[in-house]
């Protein structure tokens, strides 16, 4: 396995379908631009799907779960055993994303990349254990080269499963106690930002907890400084297995022409890394929501992303992205089914 595939270009956008969709928006029975972001969404999707009237019928969700060595630094409000316990909950249908996937009639795929509290073989969970957790990146790299390659490849494999299921939209979800610390450390080096600026409460730290977490991140960033100019190396040193799998899935989805709906803070940091590695994949990303996690806005700004929802969510699992699917579907229905001025006999402006 090598990493050369990451550099393959993203599928190009179909400009004529995009232009046709934009012209159609101006011909529909509404004041020009009155559907705001829904118009931009339908136009972007038309270019990506190479058809003037796009549609999102089938949605595939993959939740990548993994544990983090940095959790031993006391950076989460919850114990590490929760990651493995939640893997079981995803499969048995009781997690938020399980409920949302059922409501959307989406296919839900769960990948266990390595949990300290290993739930073992479970029906409906892909067992792809890389290690029980990443290493504690305070004084060593989170992953070896080989572990990074395998995690990225798991993301690409998830996209292949989405493609086999005939999906038009891919949602990557994540679960991993401690992963906001990894994502924040990675964001700090990708954005050249200071930890206090973007460190947030994660699962619910108090003010003192957030201060401690920012200090831990600052120590880790200082240790790895000088080795993180390359985004892949930054991902290897400071990321997590599930974050790397998300990166692999985003790059692969863009290469295979599958639209991605990016979830919250951790997923957006993975998107930032994916774009740093392969800039062409930015075009294939839609952004679902603004998370309550402190650093999310900064990451969204760096991606020039304007998310669809702002509900104060901070759950992860792909849940915010799942919530945005009906909006994406409705934007497509409006573009397809609204009457034009001439069809409806409504007077257009000059
Ligand atoms: O998606 C988000 O914006 C988000 C924000 C805060 C926390 N989370 C979830 O909470 C877990 C990480 O929180 P923590 O405090 O353990 O780093 C992980 O399982 C994430 O899915 C997710
Ligand atoms: C219970 C629980 C569920 C989660 N889902 C994603 N992150 C999570 C963190 C916790 C603690």
DSSP sequence for 121-186: S-TTEEE--S-SS---TTSS-SS-HHHHHHHHHHHHHHHHHHHHTT-SEEEEEEE-TTHHHHHHHH
Task: Report how far ligand 2's centroid is from the alpha carbon of 78 (Å).
Answer: 8
CATH number at residue 191: 3.40.50.10210
Same domain, 116 and 8: no
Q: What is d(CA 274, CA 281) in angstroms, rounded to the nearest whole number?
A: 7
Distance from the CA of 98 to the center of ligand 2, in angstroms?
13
235 plus 175 within the same structural domain: yes
Contact 239, 271 (CB under 8 A): no
List the CATH number of the domain containing 43.
1.10.1610.10
102 and 246 share one domain = yes
233 in the same domain as 339: no
What is the extent of the structural domain holding 184? 59-327
Atom of ligand 1 nearest to the CA of 176: 19
Q: Are residues 179 and 90 in the same domain?
A: yes
Is 350 inside any structural domain? no
Measure 221 CA to ligand 2 centroid, in angstroms. 26
Residues 19 and 106 in one domain: no
Protein residue closest via CA to atom 1 of ligand 2:
82
Domains contained in the chain, number: 2
Q: CA-based angle 188:193:197, to the nearest 5? A: 100
pLDDT tens, N- to C-terminus, the chain (350 residues): 689 999 999 999 999 999 999 999 999 999 999 999 999 999 999 999 999 999 999 999 999 999 999 999 999 999 999 999 999 999 999 999 999 999 999 999 999 999 999 999 999 999 999 999 999 999 999 999 999 999 999 999 999 999 999 999 999 999 999 999 999 999 999 999 999 999 999 999 999 999 999 999 999 999 999 999 999 999 999 999 999 999 999 999 999 999 999 999 999 999 999 999 999 999 999 999 999 999 999 999 999 999 999 999 999 999 999 999 999 999 999 999 999 999 999 999 98
24 with 156, same domain: the answer is no
Considering the domain architecture, whether residues 75 and 13 belong to the same structural domain is answered as no
pLDDT at 1: 61
- Residue 229 sits in the same domain as residue 266: yes
42, part of any domain:
yes
Query: Which amino acids bring their CB within 6 angstroms of ligand 2?
Result: 78, 82, 86, 175, 203, 315-317
Task: Look up 197 and say whether it is catalytic.
Answer: no
Do 67 and 139 reside in the same domain of the chain? yes
Q: Which helix (H) or strand (E) holds 261?
A: strand 259-262
Q: Verify that 179 and 260 share a domain, yes or no.
A: yes
Same domain, yes or no: 71 and 18:
no
Report residue 213 CA to chain centroid gap.
Answer: 23
């Amino acid at each position: 396995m090598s990493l050369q595939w990451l550099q393959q270009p993203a599928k190009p956008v179909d400009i004529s379908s995009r232009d046709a969709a934009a012209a159609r928006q101006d011909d529909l029975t509404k004041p020009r631009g009155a559907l705001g972001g829904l118009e931009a969404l339908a136009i972007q999707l038309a270019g990506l799907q190479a058809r003037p009237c796009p549609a999102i019928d089938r949605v595939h969700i993959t939740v990548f779960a993994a544990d983090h060595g940095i959790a031993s630094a006391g950076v989460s409000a919850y114990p590490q055993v929760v990651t493995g316990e939640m893997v079981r909950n995803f499969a048995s249908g009781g997690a938020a994303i399980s409920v949302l996937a059922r409501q959307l009639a989406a296919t839900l795929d769960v990948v266990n990349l390595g949990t300290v509290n290993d739930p073992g073989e479970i029906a409906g969970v892909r067992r792809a254990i890389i290690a029980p957790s990443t290493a504690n990146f305070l004084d060593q790299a989170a992953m070896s080269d080989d572990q990074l390659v395998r995690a990225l490849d798991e993301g690409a494999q998830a996209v292949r499963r989405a493609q086999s299921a005939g999906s038009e939209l891919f949602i990557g979800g994540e679960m991993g106690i401690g992963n906001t610390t990894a994502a924040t450390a990675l964001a700090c080096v990708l954005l050249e930002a200071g930890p206090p600026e973007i460190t947030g409460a994660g699962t619910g730290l108090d003010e003192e907890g957030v201060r401690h977490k920012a200090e831990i991140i600052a120590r880790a960033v200082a240790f790895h400084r000088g080795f993180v100019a390359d985004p892949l190396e930054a991902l290897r040193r400071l990321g997590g297995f599930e974050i790397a799998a998300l990166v692999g899935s985003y790059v692969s989805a863009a290469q295979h022409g599958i639209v991605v709906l990016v979830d919250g803070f951790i997923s957006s940091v993975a998107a930032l890394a994916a774009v740093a590695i392969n800039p062409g994949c930015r075009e294939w990303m839609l952004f679902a929501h603004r998370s309550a996690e402190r650093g999310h806005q900064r990451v969204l700004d760096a991606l020039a992303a304007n998310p669809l929802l702002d509900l104060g969510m901070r759950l992860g699992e792909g849940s915010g992205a799942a919530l945005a699917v009906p909006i994406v579907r409705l934007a497509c229905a409006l573009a397809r089914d609204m009457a034009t001025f001439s069809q409806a006999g409504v007077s257009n402006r000059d």
